[in-house]
Structure 1
Amino acid sequence: MSYNVYLVEDEQNLNELLTMYLINEKWSVTSCLTGSQARELIDKPPHLWILDIMLPDIDGYQLIREIKAATPNVPVIFISARDADIDRVLGLELGSDDYISKPFLPRELVIRAQKLLSRTYIEESTESSKVITLTPYQIDEQVRIVYLNNEEVTLTSKEFDLLQLFIHNQGQAFSREQILTNIWGEDYFGTDRVVDDLVRRLRKKMPELKLETIYGFGYRMLKG
């Protein structure tokens, strides 16, 4: 599948290098050097945003708020020169799907983007959408949309990934570490606080889900 990627990075040399690597994957890449340029593209969503936090005009945190308000299901990778846990957690709370700290190898970014895109999008198929009923919700896995009384429940891509993990493994207990691996991948580096935050957000948006906290361990979805 050919993906459309928006890259927002104010260091021109790095921007050009990353653009070259992304184009080598046969992806369509639109690069921006400022937050203002990126803001003009929000109403024309890509498959993936790669977004630097530290920009000369509008910071990445403000941009991701606007991106997620307009297109909550489009994944975002944050890149930053800062490696503080608070930055990582704040980015995830605002809806970012991955976080990579400078300096990094361009190939590492490509690999992370590949994994995120493959998890987020299902290849086009002639088969009809697979809809799962989890009373009172209907979950369309092909288009990654949840409905409640015919109204869409807006989930971020990570929230939907977590929902899928639970609904396909009802009754199974998952530790926080297992959830981290399943949702963020084995190469994720950070605290498991992001798991609790993700569960909290999913519960808030889908309060009828039977999610049980296993104190000192993790979570599970009860059957039925």
Structure 2
Amino acid sequence: MTNRILIVEDEESIRGFLKINFRKNDFLVFEAGTGEEGVVKARQERPDVVLLDVMLPGMDGFAVCEVLRKEFPDMGIIMLTARGQDIDRIKGLEFGADDYVLKPFNTTELVLRTKSLLRRLGGKPGGEGNETVKCGAFRLEVYSQRVFKDEAEIMLTPKEYMLLKLFLENQNKAFTRDELLDKIWGYDFVGDTKIVDVNIRRLRSKIEDKKSTAMYIETVWGTGYRWRKEH
């Protein structure tokens, strides 16, 4: 199946260059020059992944990311930004982006990182039935990638789902941030460990009973995180 990608970038030269390179790699490419147009195209075409520039006229990339993540939890989102400050990268992750790439970027690396993201988003088993992972109040349906707590469905991003599945399958095991980066984002991920902390914080906000207390995902000081087995 051909992968579908939407490029939301206001600079026509960059957009055209990306379009050529992704087409060479057998992607079906859609494009948009503004944030508003990007939202419309995403709703119309339902791409597998969106390359989203932060600095867009009108509706900026953060606002677009927030809308797309709410409407399409399974859609991959990679943010493109010329900004180097940590706060801007973290802001994009807080809005639900799966990855970020700083301009100027290497196009070959961007294509590879997009393919890596798609492999992780598409990792559904092909067997019969609907395998489930259960732990206390939580139930994960692996084939459909749906998550329930006390039979109420929780809407998670792909990375949040993968983190939760990893924790439930390895209860009480402490994972370092580097291990989580390797298992969830892949060994070829180029970035810092803040992306782990941001996604853990987002996941906690959706599954914890009390926002101020980590009942399920514990912080292991000096190491990383683990799932409390008694739950």
* TM-score using structure 1 length: 0.91
Q: 1:173 to 1:205 in 2, by over 3 A?
A: same
Matched, 1:144 2:148: no
Aligned match of 1:217 in 212, 215, 223?
223
Are positions 1:10 and 2:10 aligned together? yes
CA distance in 2, matches of 1:165, 1:32: 35
Partner of 2:19: 19
Is 1:29 the counterpart of 2:29? The answer is yes
Range moving further from structure 2, 165-174 or 188-197: 188-197
Q: Shift of the alpha carbon at 1:58?
A: 1.7
Unaligned residue ranges in structure 2 (runs of 5+): 210-214
Residue 111 of structure 1, CA deviation? 0.3
The separation in 1 between residues aligned to 2:138 and 2:170, in whole angstroms, is 17
What displacement does 1:110 show?
Answer: 0.6
Change (3 A) 1:105 1:197: closer
**Aligned match of 2:134:** 133
Q: Is the 8 A contact 1:9 1:34 kept in 2?
A: yes
What's the RMSD between the two structures over aligned residues?
2.0
What is the match of residue 70 of structure 1? 71
Name the TM-score, length of structure 2 as normaliser: 0.88
**2:19 and 2:151 mapped to 1: Cα distance?**
41
Percent sequence identity over matched residues?
35
More off after superposition, 91-100 vs 30-39: 30-39
Unaligned runs of 5+ in 1: none
Measure, in 2, the Cα distance between the counterparts of 1:54 and 1:139: 37
In the alignment, the residues of structure 1 paired with residue 145 and residue 159 of structure 2 have an alpha-carbon distance, to the nearest angstrom, of 11
- Aligned partner of 1:54 in structure 2 is 55
The letter for the 1-side match of 2:43 is D
Q: Secondary structure at the match of 1:43?
A: helix
* Mapped partners of 1:3, 1:124: distance in 2: 18
| Corresponding position of 2:113 | 112
Matched residue pairs, number? 224
Residues 8 and 124 (structure 1 numbering): CA distance in 2 closer, same or farther, change over 3 Å?
Answer: farther
Please tell me the residue identity of whatever aligns with 2:34. T
Deviation at residue 57 of structure 1 after TM alignment? 2.4
Q: Which moved more, 1:181-190 or 1:91-100?
A: 181-190
Quick one: distance in 2 between partners of 1:149 and 1:219?
23
Q: CA deviation at 1:112?
A: 0.5
